[in-house]
């Protein structure tokens, strides 16, 4: 992939952040390199991959 970047002046007057999630990046300005990484701290045996069991309403119950 080839692309051209033309950097211009950046003027930021005010920033108001309400919240930042744990997987967020807040960047103003230039960055030569951004390396993304991820960590998974849950044991592999607790991860369930596969078809989900559909939730079926039992007769006589109301939701």
Asked if pLDDT for residue 63 goes beyond 60, the answer is no
CA angle 21/27/30 to nearest 5° reads 160
In angstroms, the first-to-last Cα distance of the chain is 51
Nearest to residue 9, comparing CAs of 29, 27, 26, 25? Answer: 29
What are the pLDDT digits (tens) for 10-55? 888 898 888 777 667 778 777 788 887 777 677 777 766 777 666 6
Predicted confidence at residue 59, as pLDDT, reads 74
Global pTM reads 0.31
Give, in order, the Cα–Cα distances in Å from 50 to each of 23, 47, 53: 25, 10, 9
Under the phi-then-psi rule, with left for phi > 0, alpha for psi from -120 to 50, and beta for the rest, what region is 60?
left
58 has pLDDT over 80: no
């Amino acid at each position: 992939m080839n692309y051209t970047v033309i950097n211009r002046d950046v003027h930021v007057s005010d920033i108001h952040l309400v919240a930042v999630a744990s997987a967020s990046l807040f960047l103003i300005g230039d960055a030569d390199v951004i390396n993304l990484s991820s960590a998974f701290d849950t044991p592999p045996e607790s991860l369930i991959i596969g078809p989900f069991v559909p939730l079926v309403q039992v007769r006589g119950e109301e939701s």
